[in-house]
Amino acid sequence: MSDYKSEPIKGTQGDVQSHDKKQSWFYSDIVKEHFFNPQNFLDRDPKEGEFNAIGKVGSPACGDELRVWMRVDSATEIIIDYKWKTFGCGSAIAATSMISEMILEKNMTLEEARNIRPQDVMERLGGLPARKFHCSVLCDKATRDAVNDFYRRAGKFDKIVVEASRIICPVTRVTDRDIEEAVLEGAITLEDVQKKTKVGIGNPGVLPAVEELILFYKEKYFG
Amino acid sequence: MKKRQVYLDNAATTPIDKRVLAVMKPFLTDDFGNPSSFHTPGKVAGDALDGARKQVADVIGARSDEIIFTSGGTESDNLAILGFARKNQNQGKHIISTKVEHPAVLESLEQLEKEGFEVTLLIVDEFGRVSSDDVVTAIRPDTILISIIYANNEIGTVNPISEIGKQIQKNRTGNFPAFHTDACQAAGALELNQEKLHVDLMTVNASKIYGPKGNGALFVKRGLKLQPLQFGGHQERRVRPGTENVAGIIGFTEALRIADQQKDEESKRLIKLRDYFICEVQKLIPKTRLNGHPTERLPNNINISFMDIEGEALTLYLDAKGIYVSTGSACTSASLDPSHVIVGLSLPYEVAHGSIRFSLGRSTTKKDLDYVLEFLPELVEKLRKISPVSVDAKYFK
């Protein structure tokens, strides 16, 4: 299986600025290396029986969609292969590439992979622009989705972990916990919370529920 | 060897033309006077300002007293919308515009809604054009202002401003509704004569026509009243007080003169390049969509959606090759919403996320475009390989 390779590009090349000039950002060299030279992505359709766990998060309407395919050793629950496809911006592609490396280099078990937090991926990437963090690190969610999928297929229903928090937006998989965190970080309008989480972008049906939650947490924390 | 650089973001801004810089220079150093001062240096500056005003007036077929110098397109749009609506609200509080305006217009209208005005935003056809019939149908007895973009900054679609203006004139009583157009992208490419366009207010600016940033003008037809947005002096007929940016105004004026003078020749050259590039992209890359009108579009504007990929990622890949473009993707905006213009064409979000604007300029050559065409197919192909998405075939041909 050959992954697409290109000349890795380092340094200050490849930075962009927001077109409305409200904010600019710079990606770290590690982010750029994974973006320009992504690792472990699936450059074709999966073959029948090649993988035994599949995970998905996001939709193209909200700007990011991730899919992951894993081959897991049933006896040891070690992830032997981890492939992915991502529709998204530079940081989304880099983050997915990075998590694949983190999982494969350490021969992680399902349990270990499940415990990877977005912060862990970001740390390995050498940081991400603040406004990119919530919306582009979705790879941990896609991975957990695949872990559950493995247990579902294996009939080990007791091992499926339903996200402790409640998913508010099925498209972006933003949970009530994500919204609580956004409010705590100072986002108290729908617009601000959307900037942080992308909740409801391309899926406006969930907005009334989101607004209700914002109000709830706002009153809870800021009276 | 120095890496080749191809700047294809001329709709964002252009460098200053050397001829423009040359006429500006004296007013930054030797002829620094304040046009309002009662002495020789003041008179020198004042005379230059008068000359500049006359020059702008000549280009758009207006009188000198109908030109107000501003800090650029955004201020001109703000002044036209907010200034006119607030001053004339006793005549009615309804305004008509479109969903694909520049934010300088749309956000001014949002502000007016907070002040009790009612706004009708017309939808556009699949190419981004407004129909004059729709405009006329939307006119109510209390409509005081209609604002429609001349040439769209994102997709380059040119609206039939002259026809719309004619229809508005036929369907109005007295001065209302007045007709404003944002012509920021039109200068140097399209007809700017206010009489031929049948407009009452028109925004023009310098930074897209090789003039200094932060300079523009608003044409205000004689007899129309505006409420100022700032206070503190008699300049610009008290509508836009503050010491004039003389050097900037001189530069803007010269830039406008040059742009208008070489309009026909340059447009012909750019249209050839534009159509060549569009044709080649469609030949070389499957699953693309030209956003905007195929012919009724700015000579320098190319806006293409590359299906199944995300615009920021492609922008970065192009940047690494020294190719500079812009995208309607959400990822490069502060709002995380994709381009309102492309979504305004009744296209799904994923098409807007994959849109790239290539805007050509005076320095653009066929060689530049061939350089882009050399890399674009493989970069698109690479991102498509990574992508799990497949956009519905009905959105591209």
Domain annotation for chain B: domains and CATH numbers: 18-261 (3.40.640.10), 263-389 (3.90.1150.10)
- Specify the DSSP class assigned to residue B286: S
State the Cα–Cα distance between residues B301 and B309, nearest whole angstrom.
21
B230 and B242 Cβ atoms separated by less than 8 Å: yes
Task: Say whether pLDDT at A10 is over 60.
Answer: no
Q: Do A85 and B386 touch (CB under 8 A)?
A: yes
Q: Where in chain A is the domain with CATH 1.10.10.1100?
A: 163-223
Per-residue pLDDT tens for B291-322?
999 999 999 999 999 999 989 899 999 999 99
DSSP bridge partners of A67: A56, A85
> Residue B129, CB half-sphere, CA atoms under 13 Å: how many?
18
Contact list, A88 vs chain B (CB under 8 Å): 310, 313, 331
Token reading at B182 = 């944002």
Best CA proximity match to A60, nearest among A198, A202, A200: A202
Q: Is residue A223 very low, low, confident or very high in pLDDT (cuts 50, 70, 90)?
A: low
Token reading at B316 = 């970065």
State the Cα–Cα distance between residues B68 and B53, nearest whole angstrom.
8
State the Cα–Cα distance between residues B9 and B29, nearest whole angstrom.
32
% pLDDT > 70, chain B: 97
Which ipTM score applies to this complex? 0.78
Q: Is residue A136 very low, low, confident or very high in pLDDT (cuts 50, 70, 90)?
A: low
- Among partner residues A87, A132, A198, which is closest to B388 by beta-carbon distance? A87
DSSP bridge partners of B121: B97
Query: Which of A21, A35, A87 has the most B C-beta neighbours within 10 Å, making it the best mutation to test the interface with B?
Result: A87
Q: Is residue B1 very low, low, confident or very high in pLDDT (cuts 50, 70, 90)?
A: low
Query: Which of A7, A13, A19 has the most B C-beta neighbours within 10 Å, making it the best mutation to test the interface with B?
Result: A19
Hunting for tokens 């690190």 — which residue is that? A137
Mean pLDDT of B31-40: 94
Most confident range (mean pLDDT) of A43-47, A57-61, B75-79 is B75-79
Token reading at B266 = 């340059």
State the Cα–Cα distance between residues B283 and B13, nearest whole angstrom.
29
Q: Is residue A159 very low, low, confident or very high in pLDDT (cuts 50, 70, 90)?
A: confident
**Three-state secondary-structure class, residue A116:** coil
Token reading at B65 = 């007293």
Nearby residues of B246 by Cβ (< 8 Å), 6 or more positions away: B27, B31, B33, B35, B45, B48, B49
Measured CB to CB, residues of chain B less than 8 Å from chain A are: 12, 103, 308-310, 312-313, 315-317, 319-320, 326-327, 329-338, 348-350, 353, 382, 385-389, 391
State the Cα–Cα distance between residues B150 and B198, nearest whole angstrom.
12
Contact list, B351 vs chain A (CB under 8 Å): none
- Which of A40-49, B146-155, B375-384 has the weakest average pLDDT? A40-49
Task: Say whether pLDDT at A8 is over 70.
Answer: no
State the Cα–Cα distance between residues B42 and B244, nearest whole angstrom.
12
State the Cα–Cα distance between residues B216 and B67, nearest whole angstrom.
10
CA angle A41, A194, B121 (to 5 degrees): 110
Min Cα separation B273/chain A (Å): 25
A66 and A81 Cβ atoms separated by less than 8 Å: no
Comparison of pLDDT for B43 and B389, the residue scoring more? B43
**Three-state secondary-structure class, residue A171:** coil
Q: Is residue A170 very low, low, confident or very high in pLDDT (cuts 50, 70, 90)?
A: confident
% pLDDT > 70, chain A: 83
Mean pLDDT of B132-150: 97
B142 Cα distance to chain centroid: 28
Confidence (pLDDT) at A133: 65
Looking only at the bridges linking them, the beta strands covering A53-59 and A64-72 are: antiparallel
Q: Do A88 and B313 touch (CB under 8 A)?
A: yes
Query: Which of A20, A27, A89, A172 has the most B C-beta neighbours within 10 Å, making it the best mutation to test the interface with B?
Result: A89
Min Cα separation A67/chain B (Å): 7
Q: pLDDT averaged over chain B?
A: 94
Per-residue pLDDT tens for A51-66?
999 999 887 777 788 9
Q: Is residue A200 very low, low, confident or very high in pLDDT (cuts 50, 70, 90)?
A: confident
Inter-CA distances, B111 with B16, B78, B107, B139, B182, Å: 33, 10, 6, 21, 18
Q: Do B334 and A23 touch (CB under 8 A)?
A: yes
- Among partner residues B327, B329, B386, which is closest to A93 by beta-carbon distance? B386
Annotate B149-213 with DSSP letters as a single string: -SB-TTT-BBP-HHHHHHHHHHT-BTTBSEEEEE-TTTTTTS---HHHHT-SEEEEESTTTTS-S
Task: Say whether pLDDT at B171 is over 60.
Answer: yes
From the candidates B28, B138, B190, B331, which is the catalytic residue? B331
State the Cα–Cα distance between residues B115 and B104, nearest whole angstrom.
17
State the Cα–Cα distance between residues B107 and B238, nearest whole angstrom.
24
Confidence (pLDDT) at A5: 34
Min Cα separation B96/chain A (Å): 25
Contact list, A137 vs chain B (CB under 8 Å): none
State the Cα–Cα distance between residues B5 and B319, nearest whole angstrom.
9
Best CA proximity match to B94, nearest among B85, B102, B103: B85
Mean pLDDT of A25-44: 86
Comparison of pLDDT for B162 and A2, the residue scoring more? B162
Mean pLDDT of A115-138: 78
State the Cα–Cα distance between residues A159 and B102, nearest whole angstrom.
53
Q: Do A63 and B329 touch (CB under 8 A)?
A: yes
Best CA proximity match to B135, nearest among B146, B150, B149: B146
Q: pLDDT averaged over chain A?
A: 81
Token reading at B152 = 């769209």
Q: Do A201 and B337 touch (CB under 8 A)?
A: yes
Confidence (pLDDT) at A58: 81
Q: Is residue B256 very low, low, confident or very high in pLDDT (cuts 50, 70, 90)?
A: very high
Q: Do B312 and A16 touch (CB under 8 A)?
A: yes
Catalytic residues of A: 62, 135
Q: Do A63 and B349 touch (CB under 8 A)?
A: yes
Mean pLDDT of B117-138: 96
Best CA proximity match to A18, nearest among B212, B335, B8, B351: B335
Q: Judge: domain A25-162, CATH 3.40.50.12140.
A: no
Neighbours of B190 (CB within 10 A): 17
Mean pLDDT of B79-106: 97
Task: Say whether pLDDT at A24 is over 80.
Answer: no
Consecutive H or E run containing A105: helix A90-105
Confidence (pLDDT) at A63: 74
Confidence (pLDDT) at A12: 43
Comparison of pLDDT for A138 and A68, the residue scoring more? A68
Confidence (pLDDT) at B332: 57
State the Cα–Cα distance between residues A108 and A141, nearest whole angstrom.
16
Q: Where in chain A is the domain with CATH 3.90.1010.10?
A: 25-162
CA angle B261, B265, B267 (to 5 degrees): 100
Min Cα separation B383/chain A (Å): 8
Mean pLDDT of A184-195: 85
A206 and A195 Cβ atoms separated by less than 8 Å: no
Q: Do A63 and B330 touch (CB under 8 A)?
A: yes
Q: Judge: domain A163-223, CATH 3.40.50.620.
A: no
Q: Do A93 and B320 touch (CB under 8 A)?
A: no
Confidence (pLDDT) at B190: 95
Q: Is residue B126 very low, low, confident or very high in pLDDT (cuts 50, 70, 90)?
A: very high
Confidence (pLDDT) at B333: 55
